[in-house]
Amino acid sequence: MFERIKEIIIDQLGLDEDVVITESTSLMADLEADSLDAVEIIMAFEDEFDIEIPDEAAENFKNIGDIYNFIKSKKAE
């Protein structure tokens, strides 16, 4: 699942395939995503994993690990 999350981020941001994305990577600080990019990425996650990510939850994501853990918890329900 983490690999798929990375693929979506790379695709949405138009990054090189060899960019290093770890759980501690920040969308905004490290990958230079803006707020519109973040919204589009969240929507892509919702579509890909068939979940809903509330705005309140998305606002609390500090790094890719937070996103991964949220999606993992939703898929476990």
Burial tier of 28 (Cβ tally within 10 Å: 0-12, 13-18, 19+)? middle
Amino acid letter for position 2: F
Q: Which residue numbers are catalytic?
A: 34
Q: How far is CA 37 from CA 44, 46, 73, in A?
A: 10, 14, 23
